[in-house]
Amino acid sequence: MASPLDDDELASDDYYSLLNVRREATQEELKAAYRRLCMLYHPDKHRDPELKRQAEHLFNLVHEAYEVLSDPQARAIYDIYGKRGLDVEGWEVVERKRTPAEIREEYERLQREREERRLQQRTNPKGTISVGIDATDLFDRYEEDFEDMVGGGVPHVEINKMHISQSIEAPLTTKDTAILSGSLSTHNGNGGGTINLALRRVTSAKGWGEVELGAGDSHGPFLGMKIFRNLTPRFFVTAQCGLQFSSRGVRPGFTTVLARHLDKNTMGYLQWRWGIQSSMNTSIVRDTKSSHFTFAMQLGIPHTFMMMSYQYKFQDEDQTKIKGSVKSGFFGTVVEYGAERKISRHSVLGATVSVGVPQGVSLKIKLNRASQTYFFPIHLTDQLLPSAVFYATVGPLVFYLAMRQLIIRPYVRAQKEQELEKQRESSASDIAKKKQEAEAAVLLMQESVRRIIEAEESRMGLIILNAWYGKFVTDNSRKHERAKVIDVTVPLQCLVKDSKLILTEATKSGLPGFYDPCVGEEKSLKVLYQFRGVMHQVLSGDTESLRIPKQCNSTKLDNGRLENLCLV
């Protein structure tokens, strides 16, 4: 299904920014903005052939933007999918009296045809590699004469188990999917493997069914079936049954899960399992933007336990999370705590310390890379040793900080530079075109700006003395970077009306006379203006709304002197 365009895709053809109107603008606001720009760019106002040609081009852009935004149906399409949505083949047969919701459904119907053509080329590979490490020799010394043994002074660390699994999905039709998966495991020299094939069919918008066939050298053939069904919008059920064939005979099994939305962020689950390791389990899961909480209880053979976990999500760009849990049952008690953090666009690194009785102390390191998971459980000791807990906690933290400083940050910085360079190269021709349009718009604005300045001076109104748009360098630690700004004094003065300048919440690169001087980088607008004979300065983010004069957001310059603008 097609997804709405992101900010970078929309910025080059942002009709709202071109007309400088709100996304919720009324028809009257659209007409007022359109008429003003038409008066500015009308070709008949210019005798010079080159200016006339440029004015005609800009006039057509403004007219195109107004035509789309003034049509409720076209505007609904544009708001959801941008300019690309207006170019989808098949819109000419759509009834013009449909609501925005109906238009969106129609768009998605047309997009399904494209999705079906791409269906055969798509898979969803997933994999897990787990390597178990026995490092108990670092802390546990069982033999009294250990130090006297040859090589006894060097701790022995070994890999005692390994597990590899992989699965892929192959869409057969829009409703049918084949899933092929396999796994290999080894533990202390003994191992085995399995292979499974599942066929899943979506029976309706409320459910699907799945048949699974499997074989392995340790468990024998397996035949199973799984059904999922939405009973109500807030309640669903999953049922699974299977037959495991082995040398001991046929062992049946059945599992059912009932789930219900308790509120917007909370789910309740009730599970019953019959067969091998029969049990009953109930759990409550609450997931919000800033936290994740789970409480579960299970009665079963051989595992009966109670578990509670909490995870806090920091609202930062690295998506940092810290978590802790406690689990207690017939097997003993385990306390776990840890953290995870995004280290690149597709990679998340996490570490968890597990302390339990009688399990001892373990460190679990996990790396998620796209759809692949790499898991390294390291067993440190069978006892509760404070030294093991300390090193399991501090060791990964020190190692991560060193890796982040020496490897991760330089790598991410290099990746961002490569992506920015590719983005600049791919948009070079478009930016050059936008620059020409902006320069042409500035030429066409000269006469209007002269009249606006004369009118504002006569009433001691708003005069734009200087304005720059782009990337400013004000941090001393970034002096090596070069500022990338353009002069937008004339375009801003042209937008002044009745001693006021109002910019909406949209990227300013789409405003008349503007263009993007630094693609993919953070931009801002710095304005030095005079109002009632007093000079002020204001700095605004690229997508922030701006209204001047507004004393609380501006800096008055003492004695009319200019502040030093750090452009390099």
- pLDDT tens, 401-432? 898 888 888 887 888 888 878 777 777 778 88
pLDDT digits (tens, 9 = 90+) for 419-470: 878 777 777 778 888 888 888 888 888 888 898 999 999 988 999 999 999 9
Q: Is the pLDDT of residue 198 over 70?
A: yes
Quick: pLDDT tens for 354-404. Answer: 999 988 999 999 999 888 999 999 999 988 899 999 999 999 999 888 988
b/e per residue 402-411 (b: at least 16 CB within 10 A): eebeeebeee
Confidence tier at 476 by pLDDT (50, 70, 90): low
pLDDT at residue 481 in the model: 57
What CA–CA distance (Å, rounded) separates 201 from 417?
A: 44
Specify the pLDDT at position 390.
93
Token reading at 25? 């603008």
Tokens 């009308």 belong to residue: 42
Q: How confident is the model at residue 231 (pLDDT cuts 50, 70, 90)?
A: very high
Phi, psi values for residue 518, rounded to 5° = -150, 85
Q: How far apart are CA 242 and CA 31, in angstroms?
A: 67
174 or 242, which is more confident: 242
Mean pLDDT is lowest, of 59-63, 204-208, 479-483, for 479-483
**So what's the pLDDT on residue 205?**
85
Structural tokens at position 539: 């700095």
Q: Is the pLDDT of residue 211 over 70?
A: yes
**Residue 57, CA distances (Å) to 15, 78, 440, 444, 509 in order:** 15, 22, 10, 12, 18
d(CA 510, CA 495) in angstroms, rounded, equals 13
Q: pLDDT tier at 94 (50, 70, 90 boundaries)?
A: very low
Q: Over range 274-282, report the average pLDDT.
A: 89
**Contact in structure between 52 and 45 (CB atoms under 8 Å):** no
Structure tokens at 240: 């699974």
Confidence of residue 311 (pLDDT cuts 50, 70, 90): very high
When the pLDDT of each residue in the chain is averaged and rounded to a whole number, the result is: 82
Give a three-class secondary structure readout of 223-261: EEEEEEEEEECCEEEEEEEEEEEECCEEEEEEEEEEEEE
Q: What number is the average pLDDT over the span 77-102?
A: 59
Residue 108: per-residue pLDDT: 67
What pLDDT, on a 0 to 100 scale, did the predictor assign at position 560? Answer: 45
What pLDDT score does 8 carry? 41
C-alpha to C-alpha distance for 53 and 448, rounded to whole angstroms: 18
pLDDT, mean of residues 66-83 = 80
Give the pLDDT band (50/70/90) at residue 112. low
- What pLDDT is stored for residue 525 in this prediction? 92
pLDDT digits (tens, 9 = 90+) for 148-173: 555 556 778 889 899 999 999 888 88
How confident is the model over 115-138, as a mean pLDDT?
77
Half-sphere exposure of 52 (CA within 13 A, CB side): 6
Q: What's the farthest any 2 CA atoms get from each other in the chain? A: 103
* Amino acid 133: pLDDT: 93
DSSP string of 402-417?
Answer: HHIIIIIHHHHHHHHH
Q: Residue 52's pLDDT band (boundaries 50, 70, 90)?
A: confident
Residue 523 CB-density burial (10 A; 0-12 exposed, 13-18 middle, 19+ buried): buried
pLDDT of residue 510: 83
**In which band, very low, low, confident or very high, does the pLDDT at 130 lie, cut at 50, 70 and 90?**
very high
Q: Please determine, for residue 334, whether its predicted confidence score (pLDDT) is greater than 50.
A: yes
What is the DSSP secondary structure assignment for residue 290, as one 8-state letter?
S
| DSSP states along 134-162 | E-GGGT----TTGGGSTTTTS---EEEEE
277 versus 557: which is more confidently predicted? 277
Portion of the chain with pLDDT greater than 70, in percent: 83
Q: At what angle do helices 49-70 and 27-41 cross, to 10 degrees?
A: 170
495 neighbors 501 (Cβ within 8 angstroms)? yes
pLDDT for position 564? 38
Q: Report long-range pairs for 339-345 (Cβ below 8 Å, ≥24 apart).
A: 340/366, 342/317, 342/318, 343/318, 343/404, 343/408, 343/412, 344/408, 344/411, 344/412, 344/415, 345/415
pLDDT for res 115: 62
